[in-house]
Amino acid sequence: MGAIPSPKKSLGQHWLNDEVTLNIICDLADLSSTDMVLEIGPGLGSLTKLLVERAGQVIAVEIDSNLSRQLSTFIHADNLTVVNDSILKFDLSKLPVGYKLVANIPYYLTSNLLRLLSESNNPPKLIVLLVQKEVAERVAADAGAMSLLSVTTQYFWEISLELVVPAALFTPPPKVDSQVILLRRRAGQLFPEIDEKSFFRLVKVGFSARRKTLLNSIANGMRIDKEVISAVLEESKIDPNTRPQMLNLNDWYEIYKVCLAKKLI
């Protein structure tokens, strides 16, 4: 085996070797010999070693070419496939329906990854991610602290905040603590008879200027007269002066239904 690579700051690499934490992550994934697991950024393979022991198949997607080459020398397992690629370019449709995703991912990747997985035609049925604690809290936020990320993620997934992992357990230690987040894919659409593209177009417009009121954000974003949008919000029982972070998923659905009825979307 060659020399152990040093973590690359440019790729947000922080190695986690704490056995207790790694086993808790695997426990949360509830793995069995029938499971196909997708791991992102396996690094030195500390988590991968446990995954190949518990799951039927593991596909580890690693963007670092040196690490992807060395991973098979770190871990000898017939049920491990290492792919040198960015997960944002990886074809999820190649995976069997009902696969699970388990990973300790770079912080910069979290928002794009959750959006990709949420909107995928072949999403995992369960995700266990170790992410920046602040991001985990944003994903699971309640009305008052909502964001486009939390609305999108909560629409598609049932979310549970799990173990907090201190920065000191990583090499090198990041500047902030991390947290394990568990996401279970919802069995069906959260709301009946909804066009998801139109719904999220509305939500994105609403969050396009977080400091502005919903009235201004939606009217400007949809290029519709403020009086029309004011009437929409009032019919939806939403104060036009409310800011987008104050709304929950049901509030957005009420606005969507009124916009749909008025043929605004």
* Angstrom distance (rounded) from CA 176 to CA 63: 23
Q: Does 2 fall in a domain?
A: no
* One domain for residues 156 and 52: yes
Q: What is the DSSP string of 8-58?
A: PGGGT--EE--HHHHHHHHHHHT--TT-EEEEE--TTSHHHHHHHHHSSEE
Q: What is the pLDDT of residue 15?
A: 67
Q: How many CB atoms lie within 10 A of CB 161?
A: 14
What is the domain range of residue 143? Answer: 9-185
Q: What is the pLDDT of residue 11?
A: 46
* One domain for residues 156 and 67: yes
Query: Which of 215, 196, 188 has its CA nearest to residue 253?
Result: 196
* One domain for residues 201 and 161: no
Structure tokens at 25: 């992550």
If one counts the domains in the chain, the total is: 2
**Strands across the sheet with 178-185, in order?**
80-84, 57-62, 36-40, 100-104, 126-132, 178-185, 157-165
Q: Does 190 fall in a domain?
A: no
Q: Does 220 fall in a domain?
A: yes
H/E stretch holding 129: strand 126-132
Q: Does 4 fall in a domain?
A: no
At 174, which CATH number?
3.40.50.150
Alpha carbon distances (Å) from 41 to 100, 184, 194, 256:
15, 21, 35, 38
Query: Which of 110, 115, 120 has its CA nearest to residue 203?
Result: 115
* One domain for residues 30 and 119: yes
User: What residue ranges of the chain have pLDDT lower than 70?
Assistant: 1-15
* One domain for residues 47 and 165: yes
Q: Is the peptide bond before 96 cis (omega within 30 degrees of 0)?
A: no
At 202, which CATH number?
1.10.8.100
Of 132, 156, 185, the domain-final residue = 185
Query: Which of 147, 140, 213 has its CA nearest to residue 179?
Result: 140
From its phi and psi, is residue 174 left (phi > 0), alpha (psi between -120 and 50) or beta?
Answer: beta
* One domain for residues 149 and 234: no
Q: What is the pLDDT of residue 1?
A: 45
Q: Does 191 fall in a domain?
A: no
Q: What is the pLDDT of residue 106?
A: 78
Q: Does 3 fall in a domain?
A: no
Q: What is the pLDDT of residue 171?
A: 80
Q: What is the DSSP string of 193-241?
A: T--HHHHHHHHHHHTTTTTS-HHHHHHHHHT--HHHHHHHHHHTT--TT
* One domain for residues 252 and 137: no
pLDDT tens digits for range 110-161 = 899 999 999 999 999 999 999 999 999 999 999 999 999 999 999 999 999 9
Q: Does 64 fall in a domain?
A: yes
* One domain for residues 214 and 83: no
* Angstrom distance (rounded) from CA 101 to CA 38: 5
* Angstrom distance (rounded) from CA 179 to CA 215: 35
pLDDT tens digits for range 33-54 = 999 999 999 988 999 999 999 9
* One domain for residues 20 and 91: yes
* One domain for residues 105 and 217: no
* One domain for residues 162 and 236: no
* One domain for residues 129 and 150: yes
Q: Does 248 fall in a domain?
A: yes
